[in-house]
Amino acid sequence: MSLRLESPSFTHNGAIPSRYTCDGEDVSPALQWYGVPAETRSLVLIVDDPDAPDPAAPRRVWVHWVLYNLAADAGGLPEGVVEAQLPKGTALGLNDWKRTGYGGPCPPIGRHRYFHKLYALDTVLSDLGTPDKAALLKAMEGHVIGEAVLIGTYQHPAK
């Protein structure tokens, strides 16, 4: 069984409901994962948008959420999870708003894709402070033993 990432809030390649965006409550969707490799010591979750600022002419990947050292047996995250509710030992990284925590879809133009990426690692990472995505990916090098991706899309209703 390979690592899988799912959400009861939206289907793979389906539309993300506005509740989870800047047009709604901007809370994180519930996430569930299955098939975590037996040798997994920790998990990493990165949510990003490769279509920024315009899907017709993307210029950068915008990072929405960075979590690392999630417990291997966590099984998922509830909707609207806040720092105090994260599994014990979970550490937070910086998103591209230069803050920790979830920042939902808020595309300036067009329909964007939001990649929810879960990585299984064969180690628990040392305390990296609040790394950005690049620093976290560097620390993960050579330790990824599984990966799952869940993609959701979003476009402002009036755009």
Q: Which residues, listed in sequence order, are joined to residue 71 by a DSSP beta bridge?
A: 42
* Rounded mean pLDDT, 104-113: 96
139-159: burial string, b at 16+ Cβ within 10 Å, e else: bbeebebbebebbbbbbbeee
Domain that holds residue 129: 4-154
Q: For residue 159, is it within any domain?
A: no
At 158 the pLDDT is: 76
Q: Does some domain include residue 17?
A: yes
CATH code where residue 149 lies? 3.90.280.10
Our count of domains for the chain comes to: 1
Enter the pTM of the model: 0.96
What is the per-residue DSSP string for 44-67? Answer: EEEEEEEEES-TTS--EEEEEEEE
Q: What are 121-151's pLDDT values in tens digits?
A: 999 999 999 999 999 999 999 999 999 999 9
- Segment 32-57, tens digit of pLDDT: 999 999 999 999 999 999 999 999 99
